Amino acid sequence: MIDLFDFVVLSSFIILLPLVTDFLNNTFPNAKIGRLAQEVVGMILVFFIVSLIFAGVSLWYTHFLPFYYTKSLLISFDTLNLLDLLKFINTDNNNNSGSSIFNKITFYFHIFFTIQLVVNLYYYYYQTITADNFLPKISKNKQIQLFASETTTTTTTTTDNINEKKNKLCGLCDQVSDGKWSTINKPKSHHCRICKRCIDSMDHHCPFAANCIGINNHHYFILFIGYTVMALIYACYLSFFPYYHCIVNYKNYVSLSFTNDNDNDNNNNNNFKQLAQSCAKFNKYSFIFLCCCLIVTASFGILLFQTYLIITNSKTVQLLSRLKKSKSFLDWFKWLYQNFKQNASINNIYSLFPNFKFYNLIIPYYKRKINKLNK
């Protein structure tokens, strides 16, 4: 029977798989490894990401935050949750000691911090997976009307001018629709072979969202990655304590719990014994720290890469296209450096996040969507 720990570990590895397939697909583009994988597992990844956030909150509620405040709570109470922990802190707070008051303040901070993390994560992820970045379809009849209206407004009409206007149409969209419709290319638009549509200001097709990252969700995607990194750092912090006590130093606690050299050490020995019993009950959940470290490393790498893209006003498809044209990785890295020197600007960040305020670090940020006519 799969328990919560098994699900978290399984989800962690499944979520990291697209990074491997993307690397292989971009390194060996002719093999088309990643494209097939993204078409198949897109919605499966969405399910695991949504479920993993819920599983993380459940473990935080029942295991890691209680263990963070008092190692004995796993033994002292049959039900492991925040209500028991709150009773424990309020009872201990009657002593009016400085540490007890501090624990109560930090306890409510943990509650508030976790709630705003979860709300922002789900909000930005929802906006990322539901955004519509498709360029409007133009039927064959509308194409004829469009070219006819444009030619009548020009004083001189040549075959080259007509061909130039037709070249603005996406040939791949025309192939997909068997000539029934197409789209007019825009600057930084790109045809997604997975969605089989042209995407406005396309950055990349994200397997984690089963959607393309473009003009209406690039900002939400970056904020989602940012809050993911923040949540994972917080998860690493909380999960480190059971990992350290129950894995790294567990043998020391077991040995110390049975040493009674003098009466002065009895209290410490009892604490060590109680901690050893708590760790025995915590069992394999102590290893979740390693899963958190693995995912936060990958997420932080994505965040750094996206930060580079924002500052330089670049797109992932642009960088990958340059990589394929480069003779070596060294030439590509030189181009990345030159691109940063020439195009890096703080104004690029402001243009992607207009009207972003300081309070949007807590309250979810909203950017009005770009309207598309004749879709």
Burial, 351: exposed, middle or buried (Cβ in 10 Å; 0-12, 13-18, 19+)?
Answer: exposed
Looking at residue 164, its pLDDT comes to 54
Q: Which tokens belong to 17?
A: 């798989």
- The rounded distance, in Å, linking the Cα atoms of 178 and 182 is 10
Which pTM does this prediction carry? Answer: 0.83
Looking at residue 371, its pLDDT comes to 58
For residue 349, give the amino acid letter.
I
Looking at residue 24, its pLDDT comes to 62
In tens digits, the chain (375 residues) has pLDDT values of 567 777 777 777 777 777 666 666 666 655 555 555 566 667 788 888 888 888 888 888 888 888 887 765 444 444 456 777 777 777 665 555 556 777 788 888 999 999 999 999 999 999 999 999 999 888 878 877 776 665 555 555 555 455 555 557 888 888 888 888 888 888 888 998 888 899 999 999 888 888 999 999 999 999 999 999 999 999 999 999 888 888 877 666 556 555 555 544 555 555 666 676 677 777 788 888 998 999 999 999 999 999 999 999 999 999 988 988 888 889 999 999 999 999 999 999 999 998 898 899 889 998 877 655 444
Give the Cβ contact number of residue 223 at 10 Å: 24
Pairing relationship of beta strands 197-199 and 190-192 according to DSSP bridges = antiparallel
Looking at residue 330, its pLDDT comes to 92
What are phi and psi for residue 169, nearest 5 degrees?
Answer: -75, 145
Looking at residue 220, its pLDDT comes to 96
Looking at residue 166, its pLDDT comes to 56
User: For the chain, which residues make up each domain, given as ranges?
Assistant: 4-133+216-361, 138-206
Looking at residue 2, its pLDDT comes to 64
Looking at residue 370, its pLDDT comes to 67
- The rounded distance, in Å, linking the Cα atoms of 285 and 6 is 9
In a 13 Å sphere around the CA of 186, the CA atoms on its Cβ side amount to: 14
Looking at residue 310, its pLDDT comes to 95
Looking at residue 79, its pLDDT comes to 46
